Amino acid sequence: MTTPLSSPPLCSDLHDTEAPGGEDRARPAAELAALQRAADAGEAAAAWVRELAGRQSEEEHAGLLERAAEAIVRASGREVVPGSDGLLAEELRYTLAADVVLGASHTTGTRPGLHPGERMPLITVCAIAAALPSCVLGDLAAELTALAAELTTATEAGRLATASGDARVLPVRKPRTLGHEHGDPLDRLAYRRVAESAAESFEIALHYQGGRGEKACAEALHNALAAAGGGIAAAALLRVADDPALGLDLEQWEHLHRIAAELDLRVVEDLGGANGDGAADPARPRPA
10 Å Cβ neighbour count for 173? 10
| Residue that wins the pLDDT comparison between 54 and 27 | 54
pLDDT of residue 251: 87
% of the chain surpassing 90 pLDDT: 42
Q: Grade residue 211 by pLDDT with cuts at 50, 70 and 90.
A: low
Do residues 190 and 197 touch, judged by C-beta distance below 8 A? no
Strand partners, 24: 18
Which pLDDT score is estimated for 179?
Answer: 64
Q: Which of 35-39, 51-55, 108-112 has the lowest mean pLDDT?
A: 108-112
**pLDDT score, position 6:** 37
The widest CA-to-CA distance across the chain, in whole angstroms, is: 101
Better-predicted residue by pLDDT, 200 or 96: 96
pLDDT class for 213, splitting at 50, 70, 90? confident
Reported as a single tens digit per residue, the pLDDT across 237-261 is 888 888 776 777 788 889 999 999 9
Taking only the tens place, the pLDDT of each residue in 156-170 is: 999 989 988 887 777
| pLDDT category of residue 59 using cuts at 50, 70 and 90 | very high
3-state secondary structure the chain: CCCCCCCCCCHHHHCEEECCCCCEEECCHHHHHHHHHHHHHHHHHHHHHHHHHHCCCCHHHHHHHHHHHHHHHHHHCCCCCCCCCCCCCHHHHHHCCHHHHHCCHHHHCCCCCCCCCCHHHHHHHHHHHHHHHHHHHCCHHHHHHHHHHHHHHHHHHHHHHHHHHHHHCCCCCCCCCCCCCCCCHHHHHHHHHHHHHHHHHHHHHHHHCCCCHHHHHHHHHHHHHHHHHHHHHHHHHHHHHCCHHHCCCHHHHHHHHHHHHHHCHHHHHHHHCCCCCCCCCCCCCCCC
Would you tell me how many other CB atoms lie within 10 Å of the CB of residue 6?
7
User: Average of pLDDT values for 74-94?
Assistant: 93
* Mean of all residue pLDDT scores within the chain: 81
